[in-house]
Amino acid sequence: MLAEIPGLATVLEQLRESDRLIARAVEGILLLQDHGDVAGTTGVSLEAWVTTIARRTRSDARMLLAAAEMVRRLPTLRAAFQEGRLSWAQVRSIALKTRPLPRRLDDRVDTAIAAALDGVGGAEPDAVTRVITWSLASLEPQQVERRERREEEREFLSLQPRLDGSGGRLWGELGPTSWAVVDAALGDAGAAAAHPGDADTANDADSDGDAAPGRVARARAARLVQLLDAERPGTRGAAERRPQLLLRADLDTLLDRTRTPGTLLTALLGGHVRVSGATARRLIDERGADLRTVILDDTGGVLGVGRRQRVAPGWLRDAVLALHDTCAAPGCAGSARTAEIDHARPWHPVHPDDLPGTTDIDQLAPTCGRHNHRKERDGWRVEQTADGRRRWVHRRSGLQTVTVPSTWRPVGDAPVPAPPSGPDPPEHSGG
């Protein structure tokens, strides 16, 4: 068959020849280490010569030296490489896995390599390497346990929202048990989406995020959302509710009068993801009590919330959060969903002449714990208007700035919040 495609035969022979040349180079490295003092004679290390003259990267040069060390310690590995039974890629992989093992295991490691080559020597290269790897793992089970603990300690899940609010990315690292659980939970979705000869469809987007995910990857994502969004049996027989979402939308959007997008509030950077008007209406129809909806009028104000008490009840807290994506303090990007509810005028007046605060929508805004507890202590006085804008005045320096909620929209000549009442600040301002 190869005679009919001479170009293919040439390429394959060239690749085999490259393995033979590297095997000879490794033998040459061993001879130099045994009989030649390269560094003593030239003043330059062998690694430096290999990187400079042979144009190998530092990682390539170190890999050659590491492989030379291991074939010296493991005669079977050395012979198999020289005889062409193992490729350079296989030797490199085996060397990386055997190098951390203590020298006292060299004889057992060499025996394991010989047994693997005798048993699966004619199999695919990856299969040979895999068999050798498993054989090595049985020689040092403590190392497997240590690696497992390290992997479990490194477990994490990251969510990276897109800055334009159109969604985000999810990625992480899992140890063996967690990985198996996730694979088992999502495996059915991948298997159902796969087709014969469709193995590559399981790949996610490439490292630059340019490639579209395959069919299996899309099915896996849908299955994950389905699992997280489903009611599950609780510990006492009652169903565990699915996650509650907080939707912010214009009244006209919900009445299907406009195509203005709605917003789902989140706890991550930016505080929101944007959804179409059609999706907002569908969520209201489908989720029922699992969706809290805060409706805005044409000025961005909240409809249908009010009343007073010191600690904002859940529905009022949600209404306040719906106006903001981040902490309402100047320059703070903390998420509103994880913030505390702050009174513009403190509930308990700081000075005798100050008015007490009220728990009304036009006095409340989310602030992170630091700014909520230190606002007055740091010298700030705050005045808030009905549309959620706040003017901050620093008593000592006279610095002034205005913060604006995410839902605020200019209407006519909307007045800027007046400076807080009280002693006049010094004659300068900023922000």
Residues of the chain with pLDDT > 70, as a percent, come to: 81
How far apart CA 277 and CA 289 sit, in angstroms, is: 19
- Give the model's confidence band at 83: pLDDT under 50 very low, under 70 low, under 90 confident, else very high: very high
How far apart CA 280 and CA 294 sit, in angstroms, is: 11
User: Does 129 have pLDDT greater than 60?
Assistant: yes
For range 75-86, the mean pLDDT: 91
Q: Where are the domains of the chain?
A: 18-140
Beta bridge partners of 158: 171
Q: Is the pTM of this model over 0.75?
A: no
- Give the model's confidence band at 372: pLDDT under 50 very low, under 70 low, under 90 confident, else very high: confident
In sequence order, which ranges of 83-175 are alpha helices (DSSP H)? 88-98, 106-120, 125-139, 141-153
Residues of the chain with pLDDT > 90, as a percent, come to: 11
Residue 56, both tokens: 């190998």
User: Does 25 have pLDDT greater than 90?
Assistant: yes
- pLDDT for the residue 267: 72
221, amino acid identity: A
Q: Is 260 exposed, middle or buried (0-12, 13-18, 19+ CB in 10 A)?
A: middle
How far apart CA 145 and CA 149 sit, in angstroms, is: 6
- pLDDT for the residue 415: 62
pLDDT digits (tens, 9 = 90+) for 41-56: 888 888 889 988 988 8
Which residue from 266, 311, 315 is spatially nearest to 295, judged by alpha carbons? 315
Higher-confidence residue: 297 or 127? 127
pLDDT digits (tens, 9 = 90+) for 380-401: 889 988 778 899 988 888 888 8
Element (DSSP H or E) covering residue 251: helix 251-254
